[in-house]
Structure 1
Amino acid sequence: MAATAGCCSTPLAWARRPRGAPAPRGGRCLAYAPAVAAAASDAAFHPDVSRAAESLQAEFAAVDRALAFNSSRVATAFRRARVAPHVTSLLSPPFLYYRPVWPPGLTSLVRLFQHFGGSTGYGHDDGGGREALDSIFTEIVGAEAAIVRPQFFSGTHAIACALFALLRPGHELLAVAGPPYDTLEEFSSSGSLQMQNPNCMVMVDNCYGEFVETSEPAMVGADLIAGSLIKNPGGTIAPCGGYVAGKKHLVEATAARLSAPGLGVEFGSTPGHVMRALFQGLFLAPQMVGEAIKVGS
C-alpha cells in the first residue's frame, strides 16, 4: 500500500502508527496519513457514547432551538448597541492628549470604537463600554435597567446588594425555594419580604439560570434578578463580576449600595482586558450554556 508521509505530533498518531513506521524525531513523528485518519475516525466516539447521543437527538434539537433563539437575541442587542473594538489611531498620543475640543461627530465616532478599551471609573474620556454593556444586558434579560460590573465579588455579593436595595427594617424575607445557602444565612436573618403582601417585590437568584430557556425572570414579572458573570452569562471567558437587573429604581438603589449614594451606575473602573472579556463572554454565552446542557443530558 502506498504510503503518504505526514508530520504529526499527536498522541493518537503516535499510538496508532502502523508497524514499521519511523519513530518520532525531535517531538515529531512521520505517520501514514490514511492510517491516522482511519484511527481518528474509529476512536472518535465509543459505541456506547454514539448510541447515547443518538437517543438524545430530540432533547438536543430542543436545546439547539433555544440556543439559536437566545443567540439571535444577544446578537440583536449587540447590534443595537453598536458594539465595536478600539480604534488606536484616534486614541493614541499626540492626538489624544493635545486635542483642544473634539467636534461632536468625531467624539461620537471615537466613543463608538472605545467599547473594549476599559474605563477609568471617573468619566474622563470613557469610551462608553460600561454603559453599552449595561444596555445590552438590559435588553437581553428584558429588564428596565441593569448594572454589570467586575466590582461584584461574586453572585452572593450581587444578591446581597440587591437585597439591601429591596429590604428595609421590619420587612420580612420569604425564600420560596427553600433555605438560603450558608453564605447568605447571616444576612437573610436580618430582614425579608412578606410574599403574602400584594405589593410585595420579587427577586430571583438567577445564577445558572441565564440562557437555559428562551425567557428570563425579569420578562415574566420579577422585580430584580441577580447572578454571577463567571457562571452562564460570562460564557466561560469572564474572569470575575456579577450583575443585577430589573426595575430601574431598584437597580439604581443596588448600584448605590455597590458604590455610594449619588454615584450609582455612573462610576466604576474596568480594565480594558476585563471589559473585552465581559463583552466576548456574553456574546458566546448562549452557545456555551447550550453545550453544557447537552453534556448534562
Structure 2
Amino acid sequence: MEIKDFIQSEYGISPETFALCARAEEEVRPQFAEIDKTAELNQIKVLKAFSEHKVSEAHLGYSTGYGYDDLGRDTLEKIYADVFGTESALVRSSIVSGTHAICSCLFGVLRPGDTLLSATGAPYDTLEEIIGKRGSGGGSLKEWGIGYREVPLLKDGKINLTALGEALADKSVRLVELQRSKGYAWRPSYTLSDMEDAIALIKQKRPDVFVMVDNCYGEFVESLEPPQIGADLIAGSLIKNPGGGLALTGGYLAGKRGLVEQISYRLTSPGIGAEVGASLGMNRHMYQGFFMAPHTVAQALKTAVLTAKVFEKLGYDVSPKAEDKRGDIIQSVKFGSSEKLCAFCRGIQRGAPIDSFVVPEPWDMPGYENQVIMAAGAFVSGASIEISADGPIRPPYAAYMQGGLTYESGKLSVLCAADNLMKL
C-alpha cells in the first residue's frame, strides 16, 4: 500500500487535502535544503564542543544531595557556553521553564531603582506578572521598586530603532530585553539580522547597559546565536529547542561570566551560586538532547514551512511566509474565529504520538489573561519542541504552532489540521 492510500484510509484525510499538501511540499523544497545546511553546520559545532571537552561515559552519571563537583553538569555548562559563544552558562533541571530562566535573569541583574526596557514591544503573557503589569502580592519587579518601560514596535512589527534610542536617554535603564519569538503577538519573530542593529544601537548609546535576549524557540534556527552579535545574556527552556526532545525538564542561561554569577546567586542563594545543584540522573538526557538539537530543530522548521505553505494555499494569513527567513520555529496562522482556531489545534492533536484521542478545549491556563486552547501530544509534558499548537481565545484568533520531532510526524499533523479546516 502506498503512503497516500494508508494515510487516507487510516486518518480519513480527503484526496483534496492530500493533493494540496503534496503541491505545497514540492514548492518548499528550496527552503528545506537551506534548513539542512544550517542544521549540518550547527551539528558540527556541537560535536566539536563535545570533542574538545572530552565527553565520556563518566559525564552521563548523576549526583545527589548538594551536587558538589558534578562533572557532567559542569562540563555541559561549558559546552553550552562554547556553542552559544559566551563566557559562562547555567544549565539546570531546577529551572522549570523558559519563563523561570528569564525571571532569574531579571532578578539576578536588576536592583531597586533600575529600569527594565523592552525593545520589542509588549512581552510574552507569562512575563506580565513578573514585571508587575498585572497581578499583585507575588513579589514582582514593580513591588521591588524596579521600573519597566517598553518601546512600541513599528507598524510592520519591526523594532523601532528611533524610539529605542530615545528611551535609552533614561539613565535608570540597566537592562534591555529583546524577545526573539513573537509570543502571542501578530508580528514577525526576529532574526539575528533584525536584532543586530538594535544591539549595536544600545551599545553605542549606552555601553553601561546590558542586553538580554529571550532566546526561547530560537536556538539553532540560524548558524549563530545572539551573544555572537553582541548580546550579553540569553535564556531559554530545555523542553524547547536545545533539549532536542530528550531533556525531561530544565532551562539554561548563558552570557558574560559576571552576569551569570549574579544570576546563580538568585537561582540558589548568595554565597552558594552555581556550586550546588544535583543532576539527579538528568545528565544523560541533557547531553543527548543537546547533541540531537540541531537535527530536531531542522525537523520542526520543515514542519513550520510546510504549514505556512499549506495554509497560505487555503487562503489564510500566515506569519512568516514559507519563503521568509525565520528567527524561530513558530508558525502563526490567523483564522479570524474561535471555531477555526479550535479546529486547527484539534487537527494537530490528532496527529500527535501521545494523547492523539484527546479533543483540546479552551481553558484558564496559569499565567495567561485569556483562555488558551492547546494541542500538545508530547512524550515530555509541555515540550513545545514536540508537535504542539496553541492560541488565546481572543481576536484575531491566531494559532501558534511549533515543533515536530520528525518531519514525517509533523506533516501528518499538518494534514489532519488542514483537513479539519477544509471540512468546516
TM-score range, shorter chain: 0.7 to 0.9
Q: 3-state SS of the aligned residue for 2:90?
A: strand
Tell me, in whole angstroms, the C-alpha distance in 1 between the residues paired with 2:25 and 2:126.
38
Report deviation, 1:62: 0.7
**1:145 lines up with 2:79 in the alignment:** no
1:155-234 to 2 correspondence within 5 Å?
155-189=98-132, 190=142, 191=146, 192=148, 193=173, 197-234=206-243
Tell me, in whole angstroms, the C-alpha distance in 2 between the residues paired with 1:229 and 1:123.
20
Q: 3-state SS of the aligned residue for 2:118?
A: coil
Q: 3-state SS of the aligned residue for 2:115?
A: coil
Q: Specify whether residues 182 and 118 from structure 1 end up closer, same or farther in structure 2 by C-alpha distance, changes over 3 A only.
A: same
1:289 maps to what in 2? 297
Deviations 1:140-179 (A, max 9, x none): 1000100000011111111111112221111111111111
1:1-297 to 2 correspondence within 5 Å?
39-40=1-2, 43=5, 46-85=18-57, 114-123=58-67, 126=69, 128-189=71-132, 190=142, 191=146, 192=148, 193=173, 197-272=206-281, 274-297=282-305
Compare 225-234 and 260-269 and name the one that shifted more. Answer: 260-269
Aligned amino acid, residue 147 of structure 1: L
Q: 3-state SS of the aligned residue for 1:180?
A: coil
Q: Determine which structure has more spread, i.e. the larger CA radius of gyration.
A: 1
- Say which structure is richer in strand: 2
Asked if the contact 1:119/1:130 (under 8 Å) is kept, the reply is no
Asked if the contact 1:121/1:270 (under 8 Å) is kept, the reply is no
Asked if the contact 1:74/1:140 (under 8 Å) is kept, the reply is yes
Aligned amino acid, residue 279 of structure 1: Y
Tell me, in whole angstroms, the C-alpha distance in 1 between the residues paired with 2:66 and 2:85.
28
Tell me, in whole angstroms, the C-alpha distance in 2 between the residues paired with 1:159 and 1:184.
9
RMSD: 1.8
Asked if the contact 2:67/2:278 (under 8 Å) is kept, the reply is no
Q: Specify whether residues 268 and 127 from structure 1 end up closer, same or farther in structure 2 by C-alpha distance, changes over 3 A only.
A: closer
TM-score, normalised to structure 2, is 0.51
- Say which structure is richer in helix: 1
Asked if the contact 2:70/2:278 (under 8 Å) is kept, the reply is no
Aligned amino acid, residue 61 of structure 2: G
Tell me, in whole angstroms, the C-alpha distance in 2 between the residues paired with 1:269 and 1:123.
4
Q: What are structure 2's unaligned runs of at least 5 residues? A: 8-17, 133-141, 149-172, 177-204, 306-424
Report deviation, 1:212: 0.6
Asked if the contact 1:66/1:213 (under 8 Å) is kept, the reply is yes
Report deviation, 1:122: 3.1
1:21 maps to what in 2? none
Identity of aligned residues (%): 47
Q: 3-state SS of the aligned residue for 1:76?
A: helix
2:330 maps to what in 1? none
Report deviation, 1:199: 1.7
1:20 maps to what in 2? none
Q: Specify whether residues 121 and 130 from structure 1 end up closer, same or farther in structure 2 by C-alpha distance, changes over 3 A only.
A: farther
1:107 maps to what in 2? none
Asked if the contact 1:77/1:139 (under 8 Å) is kept, the reply is yes
Report deviation, 1:123: 4.9
Asked if the contact 1:230/1:240 (under 8 Å) is kept, the reply is yes
Asked if the contact 2:70/2:279 (under 8 Å) is kept, the reply is no
Q: What are structure 1's unaligned runs of at least 5 residues? A: 1-38, 86-113
Report deviation, 1:42: 5.5
Count of residue pairs brought into register by the alignment: 229
1:12 maps to what in 2? none
